[in-house]
Structure 1
């Protein structure tokens, strides 16, 4: 059966006025109308629409049961509704039918029981109306709503639907944001969830129907505030305005922006203020000093610190270890300075302290305290590292009256401290700026000299003391300066070592000496070796053995014609790396000599340990011989030491015949000096070689 509608009980199928009226009403309704009697369930009345829908004539339907009219299959689908109506319940349901063209049509069916005087149903009135279009539209709305709900639940953004501020619905993200259940959110005003200080903003936007993005703070159930971005959209409905509000948690974004703002003025590793913040703080300190009442308060000290040999830490232990040391130093500075001053990290291995109301004495006292604070070893993954510092100090108003100028003066003083031995503090002085400019100028000129190959080699002969025959040359670098002329090594080598230029200079010297000697050999000149000096800086920074092998291969010089001269400083390191490097050099067939022997902390242990060939007696011991008995004793001892260790000895700085006679008497093996031959350029050395060959 189908849906019910109330109607008066029909009369029999006669032409009575009531029956005529009933037919007229049924036909005018536009729907399909039928009446089935109970308990027989036989049809007593139908209109034309009902008959047409079933495929029967009106006359043929009368007296039939619903099962006979619709067939067993269709009846089985609606029988449950019919039974409810027979029991006295008004029933309404949707019924699906397939049209002859195959399309699905939907019908709304109402079944209304008709009660007799005894209160027992004695009939059922069925009214059926097609609702395909309405049903399709409603289904589309429901599906759209379901899609929107799924979207709302899927998004991380909180969504509320409200009318005049009262929440009608919300998604799960909103419950997470507030810490409340959906039932606790729905029905309350949305302003209940906004922090009191921010409510006026939300109320103003809502009252004006604004659709712009704004920021407020949501209060979580536990009391903490959450910054959010909110945008509302008005949705006009019948009789009222509703708004959908999208709420986005911006906590992470705000933290990121705060972090970015922090990093704009702080170092990420140590979280100390950076150079920009240092200059701002220094500017503020100077302004406060100018406005101060007492002379002490009108002074400011700036201490600029640099970690000594920090690059060596990074190179040997790795950058991770270097970072640990930087953090440890920063922490110790915080502890030592405390609230007395402002600490910053303006550079990679540099720190600074702004000390207000501080004179020269107070600045020096803090510097000493910093040295003590940083003197304790730092444990780096099981390795104990002693990290010394050098400190440059500038004072306001004596050294400069601006923050940038004061910083420059402190940096200049720091360079002076480093150049004069490191590990101590140095105050800025008036002449330092000129010295610093000269240092910068020399750095620029050395950089140009390396790029433009402005260096030349001079060669000083080394002779056999027994018969005066040529035993070899020592290659000595000179700088052909475009303005200052030919510069000796003592005018630039020490500077090059401390400012990072010695490695490229040393590589050039090694290659040029080998190239020149091979060229002389190829022309038939006497085949004697050449000695090249290697500084302690080069030995630490370079793969010396590998570079020597490469140069020999490049130039074609036989290894027995090359010697390297090292200072005692290199050997006193007593490290496996030094031993392995010297063994690798020796394995190439290259000779090894100790230069300036006796000026360092000589130790028989390293003389025995390392694969050495020669000891070169420093010129300072030869200079006053034979008149100085002390120097004669020293020279004698060195020669005897060399002989006992089977090392050849070379006397440097030989200038007088008496010195040559003494060295011959002491059985010194070799000698060099102005008394034998001065260093000469390549052309002069070639001529000297040729002359010796003829003689």
Structure 2
């Protein structure tokens, strides 16, 4: 195999494989060009490291050809190729592993104070070295010649990472140099995540690499309030399981090379070692926080985690790893103090919000929520065009509560994600139940609040629910209000396009009530507009309302957007709308919102013209 496109030129890989190894005393950059290397504290290794906590033969690097990438890569193996593992193990990007195929930017720790990072670049790229602690760059073959000796043929390929050769010789000759050192743990015993010590090592390497390659590093420190708020009754012994679950959830959402560690009793730290810009780090941080805020079930109990967090970015906030950590602790302390130091009126509001949050958790758990459905009628076909879902709360003391009374409070809590999940799952399942009952498929329209719409987990949540319920996405529609698009039009465009790719459609609700900007209809893939019922209510006695309605209808025709009259209550309103060629209507004139079984009966009976 040859040729530049194959990744090989005359049998030589066009990629340079670079290993940067560092400890407290030295730093060395090595160009890997041999078939394999051994690494450990014994002088017979290809790469010798001067650390008493490392094993005599700690790791092996093996070159292999990756057919998918069409180029050579390197594997790192714990111990030697005869199956003898190291004492303290190897950790790649925070995870302990026996064998790992190295990727550009991987961070390696050898279970001690020795760290490394792996990089690859094209042959034409220059390998540059920043001035630093005993920093050198050599090809492996050059290093082998430098450290070869007639007395020790086995040491021909040895790279000694120490300035003092006598210290290394003294170490290698010492009888106590067997693999009997204490097993220094770099993993948290409870969660299996890297601990503070290992995280600090990774942060140091990440900042060093960021200085060299001129990119950003972001660090997130999160304090988990495990036993307050809605779950203060949770048993203390659940804490370990909660931390395990959170750690695993965060790991599943991180990019390759990002690291999550346990920082304190109820704290986790996240390292984002390669960030292109601050905006990019903000999006990733929000995704991580939304993951933490998702509910989990422990011993049958729904647990919701409240948090405080702090973020620091290199080089904007601090220029070395220790300053970053100090700044994070300071910011986290300030965040916790600010949340406690609120005026009495705000405290009352916070207490009420906490009570609503706790009560809504119970409502979801004990099935006190229910969906009601109101049909949208097409007067031209005489059939039901779509049906809108409304959430209701059957409060045990206050009776039936409509969404406008409790959803604004829900949006002030961390219930957005679980509430979204419940509403969408129930709506999709109900649509499938109707189809199974012999009702032809129809569009299910679901209202989204501003916080629900902008929640970062919505696209992934929607994809999961459509898969679970097996509902075809074309039978799901989201109603969004133009009021919360006005200040976030660019963000809204991104979200709607992502959801549009999943196959759902969009209806702009309360059209004309707020800003009525044609820009939304042009720039967003809106298929329907629902005219606010305040206009419909004035049709019978206000000629101006008829003119405005006519404008909306013509606008819809010109842009190929369906126009729905919302809140139609009288026959007179129906006649006026029909004369204006507005044939899609919804309101008490045709049906009140109904529970699922009642709506099924309506759909089975009213497949003929409804007048």
Q: TM class by shorter-chain length?
A: 0.3 to 0.5
Higher helix share: 1
TM-score, with length taken from structure 2:
0.44
TM-score (norm 1): 0.39
Structure showing greater Rg: 1
